[in-house]
Chains A and B, each alone.
Chain A
Amino acid sequence: SAVISQKPSRDICQRGTSLTIQCQVDSQVTMMFWYRQQPGQSLTLIATANQGSEATYESGFVIDKFPISRPNLTFSTLTVSNMSPEDSSIYLCSVGTDGTDTQYFGPGTRLTVL
């Protein structure tokens, strides 16, 4: 399985500000995904990060709020914009291993918005 890192591991932010979360993989992967896990809840897919094209967002998530970049096959960023306390969550990136349909997850970023 791929080795996935995320930065930052945690952050405390003020409302109205933005935070960019980085996801780095140690090998080239086609599919990268961003999930949100609200406190005490399960994971919900935010979007699929496509290399060389716009991200594909799930219902309820919009690009203005969660802009995503995917400049190459090993890296992606998720920005949480104009944050409010409701954005306090764990944000996780995952990668799809080609040919197996299995996703492996990064360690997550715990975001607290005051």
Chain B
Amino acid sequence: AQTVTQSQPEMSVQEAETVTLSCTYDTSESDYYLFWYKQPPSRQMILVIRQEAYKQQNATENRFSVNFQKAAKSFSLKISDSQLGDAAMYFCAYLFQGAQKLVFGQGTRLTINP
């Protein structure tokens, strides 16, 4: 069974600094997708970034980028120029291509210090 592990329950960073959130996963599949979702106190799950496993190039969305290491089964999220609005729970998630079930990690609570 696929599993997703986020080893950092909490992280904090100074405003305008850079922070990296870690995620590892376990799968025997070769075709899959990886996601980072953000959940602020409003509880809405917001898609931050998406990575297809067959793509070697790391995905980037404005201040958010990933470091995808397929052989190591690692998928970290880097947030540059952190802003107060980035404070939230961040969940890493895995989806096997063609399947329907998103498998989530335990989440990392990110605090931004002004």
Contact = CB atoms under 8 A, between A and B. Distances in A.
Interface residues of A, number: 25
Interface in A1-60: 1, 31, 33, 37, 41-45, 48, 56, 58
A33 B44 contact: no
A44 B35 CA distance: 15
B39 to A, nearest CB: 9
A108 B47 CA distance: 15
A101 B95 contact: yes
Q: Report the contact-size class of chain B (Cβ under 8 Å from the partner).
A: 20 to 34
Overall SS of chain A's interface = strand
A83 interface: no
B75 interface: no
A105 B100 contact: no
A106 B43 CA distance: 10
A68 interface: no
Interface string B89-103: 001000101101110
